[in-house]
A and B are shown apart, each in its own frame.
Chain A
């Protein structure tokens, strides 16, 4: 059974960088069958797909256009995990952030979620 364990701060100041990590068990971040995604959920935006990283002979990333200038998703093969860095945050980035495994055109396993508040 795949499990995703998220970690990271729940409070970030405006203009700073939001950083979250997702540790994977039961699968490999380097698997060429799946993708590793970040999704957020807020009352104003609902569920919003942010981006993903995946390995297909080499590492690749895809990002939502709305956030692509501020987001970086990186794999860490030594720790079997992946991370989200979100720059220049504003209060509108306050949301619950989820790491999620993607497979065959869907999302199957979700992390526990991290509520990140952007406030001074």
Chain B
């Protein structure tokens, strides 16, 4: 199984500042159809995961534009531009280019 590696695992941030989460794959996530199936999820305390980003950089409906995804091949980044209190939670990347689909171990974002 493809092991997705996130860093950092813990990310204390000041309100209003930016935060970045890295996700790395040991193999390219470019699928045979040319798409890259890398998604990002947010899990607030006590809630189910919620998808924020799909195919690297496509934001889901209703997701604030302070969330953005970027990257290619094996290296991907989720950026939060101007962290708000409601952004506290754990963020996961997930790859669906190789079978079986696998998740990163999660990055906990908290307010300093």
Contact = CB atoms under 8 A, between A and B. Distances in A.
A and B from one complex = yes
B100 A65 contact: yes
Interface residues of B, number: 23
Contacts, number: 49
A113 B106 contact: no
A106 B103 CA distance: 11
Interface string A101-114: 00011111011110
Contacts of B94: 47, 106-107
Interface of B: 31, 35, 37, 39, 41, 48-51, 54-55, 60, 92, 94, 96-97, 99-103, 105-106
19 contacts: A46-B103, A46-B105, A47-B103, A48-B103, A49-B102, A105-B31, A105-B35, A105-B97, A106-B39, A106-B51, A106-B54, A106-B55, A106-B96, A107-B41, A107-B101, A108-B60, A110-B50, A111-B48, A113-B48
